[in-house]
Chain A
């Protein structure tokens, strides 16, 4: 598990995916501090890492990164930590389009194709 401090290439994620789940790497994005942690077994592990680093739980959103997918499907919004009844997010996805766009922007900043 690591909190990214600089961009990495999508190709660098492929061995991480193969090592754990085969086709995906789990990541958590802090939309307030614009940070990202990845390569955890569970999104909650990555969220805990970021919280210990100073993030607030309400700003953390879980995604799956698919290194083998070239188009739009490389980033999937699917995580238990996204269920935030206090913010009105009642699914494993991200219902708020503004937050979704922020997540995509931050993830794209760190993951270079």
Chain B
């Protein structure tokens, strides 16, 4: 498999907390949104990186259990927004609000 996040794919990702994982995915979603008009190709690349990290998050053993359902739904709704017809009615701000909460939690936990 051809990952853009090579080290993450080799196990580093599983060391991140769920807050760090989702916060980092949110960073890529943010880039995808920000670059949509200026550079569709860069926006596409960021979307693909977000999905790559989301798939790694789904594969993380510590995320099995009640959390898994939400993660799979995030994947479905995200792909609907960026690749589909947006049948779930997402907005750019919805996505920012959703992922920013995790980034915020990660920041509160950060050691430095």
Contact = CB atoms under 8 A, between A and B. Distances in A.
Which of A44, A45, A47 has the most chain B CB atoms inside 10 A of its CB? A44
Contact of A78 (B30, B39, B41): B30
Contacts of B108: 85
Given A23-B42, A78-B30, A85-B107, A44 B20 contact: yes
Interface stretch (B5-13, B54-62, B66-74): B5-13
Interface residues on B, range: 20 to 34
B112 A51 contact: yes
Interface of B: 4-8, 12, 20, 23-24, 26-27, 30-31, 34, 38-39, 41-42, 45, 49, 100, 103-104, 106-108, 110-112
Interface of A: 20-24, 41-42, 44-45, 47-48, 51, 56-57, 60, 64, 73, 78-81, 83-85, 90, 92
The 7 A-B pairs at the shortest CB distance, nearest first, are namely A57-B112, A83-B107, A80-B23, A23-B42, A41-B7, A51-B112, A22-B45
